[in-house]
């Protein structure tokens, strides 16, 4: 039985990109597998977030979003990364095998390295903590968005080096990247991301959601002009949530002219409400019960920890560190 594992940071609210790129594909896999580990990467989010209240709010929102999207807390192990302290110890061991040059080449660091004065060491070693998350559970498959591909390569690289040096310790994980859900664009056309403040929160109240969608940036072609669906953010978002017949219809309307961006935004707004009706209702109900969510996370951590300990002991033993 294969083990599936993935994590989502708690650096902000869960958005449509996270849901389509990571959460839904992971839940689909996880609900049919015996071993699945899903966690909130709160330690990773400390690289950017230093506000305790905000972090706790984010953790609650992210956890609620997962459960509202259909995660089964019975079938899967669902937890908060910082509750399983083995992650940080494992990170240290892996770090001692991670070449500096490989980490200096990671996009997550390189993208920020133009302004080195504001880069903390956590940003630099971020991929190693991610490798620890994955290797601690002998994960076979890691569903992630395309932007995480390089982090999986780094994980495999470190695991391969250690297996080669110390003997077989780690399972080499493979990414699962949904081909039809590539990078979801944000309202400004760049990758949708918490860090760009360009995201669509499908759980926000209708008025806010509508406002967000109405602020999607477009060119200034008039209503009657034929438009290129392939370069339009509204169309790209619509296609990612509507069924293929609806997307094809909108594509034709773009090409033949007469479809204004205002109307297309309305269609997108309606499509989001329809597609995520169940999830929205469930979210509104669950978010009123933070204690229940907290219990689920703590329960998940106590299920995750024995496995993490077992794998940690494997590497401790090979390195000459006392096992516990």
Buried b (16+ CB within 10 A) or exposed e, 85-111: ebbebbbebbeebbeeebbeebebbee
Rounded Cα distance between 105 and 89, Å, is 24
CB closer to ligand TRP out of 127 and 229: 127
Considering only 18, 47, 61, 81, the residue that binds ligand ADP (CB under 6 A) is 18
Q: Is 264 in the site for ligand ADP (CB under 6 A)?
A: no
Q: Is 11 in the site for ligand ADP (CB under 6 A)?
A: yes
CB closer to ligand ADP out of 21 and 300: 21
Residue 134 contact among ligand ADP, ligand TRP, none, beta carbon within 5 to 8 Å by kind: ligand TRP
Considering only 5, 22, 135, 152, the residue that binds ligand ADP (CB under 6 A) is 22
Instruction: Tell me the residue nearest to ligand TRP as measured from the CB.
Output: 7
Considering only 3, 4, 17, 63, the residue that binds ligand ADP (CB under 6 A) is 17
CB closer to ligand ADP out of 130 and 312: 130
Contact 192, 186 (CB under 8 A): yes
DSSP 191: B
Considering only 21, 25, 127, 229, the residue that binds ligand ADP (CB under 6 A) is 21
SS3 78: strand
Rounded Cα distance between 63 and 14, Å, is 9
Instruction: Draw the binding track, 261-300, toward ligand TRP (x: CB under 6 A; -: no contact).
Output: ----------------------------------------
Residue 195 contact among ligand TRP, ligand ADP, none, beta carbon within 5 to 8 Å by kind: ligand ADP
How big is the CA angle at 52 (ends 47 and 56), to the nearest 5 degrees? 100
Rounded Cα distance between 59 and 71, Å, is 16
Q: Is 16 in the site for ligand TRP (CB under 6 A)?
A: no
Residue 133 contact among ligand TRP, ligand ADP, none, beta carbon within 5 to 8 Å by kind: ligand TRP
CB closer to ligand TRP out of 42 and 279: 42
Residue 28 burial (C-beta neighbours within 10 Å; 0-12, 13-18, 19+): middle
Phi and psi at residue 131, in whole multiples of 5°?
-65, -40
Our measurement of the distance from residue 246's CA atom to the centroid of its chain's CA atoms, rounded to an integer in Å, reads 27
**Contacts to ligand TRP from residues 127-156, by CB under 6 A:** 130, 133-134, 142, 144, 148, 151
Residues found in the chain: 324
From the list 238, 247, 235, the residue with the least C-alpha distance to 270 is 238
Percent helix, strand, coil in the chain, to 5, is 60, 10, 35
Q: Judged by CB under 6 A, how many residues of this single chain contact ligand ADP? A: 18
Contact 41, 83 (CB under 8 A): no
Instruction: Draw the binding track, 94-133, toward ligand TRP (x: CB under 6 A; -: no contact).
Output: ------------------------------------x--x
Task: List residues near ligand ADP by CB under 6 A.
Answer: 8-9, 11, 17-18, 21-22, 144-145, 147-148, 183-184, 191-195
């Amino acid at each position: 039985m294969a083990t599936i594992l993935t994590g989502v940071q708690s650096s902000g609210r869960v958005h449509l990109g996270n849901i389509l790129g990571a959460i839904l594909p992971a839940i689909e896999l996880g609900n049919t597998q015996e071993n699945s580990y899903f966690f909130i990467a709160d330690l990773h989010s400390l690289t950017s977030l230093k506000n305790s209240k905000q972090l706790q709010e984010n953790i609650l929102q992210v956890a609620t979003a997962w459960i509202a999207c259909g995660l089964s807390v019975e079938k899967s192990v669902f937890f908060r990364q910082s509750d399983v302290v083995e992650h940080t110890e494992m990170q240290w061991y892996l770090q001692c095998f991670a070449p500096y040059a490989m980490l200096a080449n990671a996009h997550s660091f390189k993208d920020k390295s133009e302004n080195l004065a504001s880069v903390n060491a956590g940003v630099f070693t971020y991929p190693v903590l991610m490798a620890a998350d994955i290797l601690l559970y002998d994960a076979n498959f890691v569903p992630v968005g395309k932007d995480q591909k390089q982090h999986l390569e780094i994980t495999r690289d470190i695991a391969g080096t250690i297996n080669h040096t110390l003997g077989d310790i780690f399972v080499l994980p493979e990414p699962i990247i949904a081909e039809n859900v590539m990078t979801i664009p944000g309202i400004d056309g760049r990758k949708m991301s918490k860090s760009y403040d360009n995201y669509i929160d499908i759980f926000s109240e209708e008025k806010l959601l509508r406002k967000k969608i109405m602020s999607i940036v477009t060119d200034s072609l008039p209503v009657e002009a034929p438009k290129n669906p392939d370069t339009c953010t509204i169309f790209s978002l619509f296609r990612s949530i509507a069924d293929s017949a609806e997307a094809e219809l909108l594509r034709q309307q773009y090409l033949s002219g007469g479809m204004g961006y205002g109307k297309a935004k309305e269609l997108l707004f309606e499509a989001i409400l329809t597609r995520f009706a169940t999830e929205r209702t469930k979210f509104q109900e669950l978010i009123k019960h933070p204690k229940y969510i907290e219990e689920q996370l703590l329960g998940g951590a106590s299920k995750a920890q024995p496995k993490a300990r077992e794998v940690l002991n494997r590497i401790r033993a090979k390195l000459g560190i006392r096992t516990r």
